[in-house]
Amino acid sequence: RDRLSPKQVEILREKLCASELFKGKKASYPQSVPIPFRGDYIGLQGNPKLQKLKNGTEGPVLVAETVKKVNRGNGKISTRILLLTKGHMILTDTKKSQAKTVIGLDSVAGVSVTSFKDGLFSLHLSEISSVGSKGDFLLVSEHVIELLTRMSQAVLDATQKQLPVTVTEKHHAEGPTACSHSGHQPGLQSGGCL
């Protein structure tokens, strides 16, 4: 009887967590099952500018990818680099190697994601968060299943609490200018609130 290596056990544990969070709820989940979680989608190891961002964090980077940040006030989309570590989520401008926003995972109150095949999700922050009164973050990830699975595990490890993940057909973000979106939307359009 073959024994699984610790790395294989970790891979299976992540896929089980993804299944518990998204199976039968998120349309893009079935396609994610056979694809191994890579974590680094931006070449973090070979990029000295991005390595500087990583140096300020504790532990390994769990996910490094390019995401789209949607401005809740005007619907404009900006590209950001997202780094997820065991204690923080860092958003930075793609052209600069300094953090624009650092969110402690203990400030994350929950996550909402659509049930469709899109990568749209809201990161809900607690009232007293490390980023002040910016409100929720509305983001789009091409690897939303992996990102939210790893975030869920990181929040559990950091806070000993389950991260509430809500899968819904109606999407809502809170903040100074709240907005919502419902229905299938294959691509986001600039110029209007979702």
Rounded mean pLDDT, 15-41: 92
pLDDT of residue 39: 92
pLDDT of residue 65: 93
Q: What is the pLDDT of residues 144-193, one digit of tens each?
A: 999 999 999 999 998 999 999 999 887 555 544 444 444 433 333 322 22
User: Which parts of 79-164 fold into alpha helices (H)?
Assistant: 144-159
Going by pLDDT thresholds of 50, 70 and 90, the confidence category of residue 134 is low
pLDDT of residue 187: 38
**Secondary element (H or E) of residue 54:** helix 48-55
Dihedral over alpha carbons 98, 102, 105, 109 (to 10 degrees): -140
Percent of the chain with pLDDT over 70: 78
Structure tokens belonging to residue 15: 């896929």
Positive or negative CA dihedral for 155, 161, 164, 165?
Answer: positive
16-30, 37-51, 77-91: which has the minimum mean pLDDT? 37-51
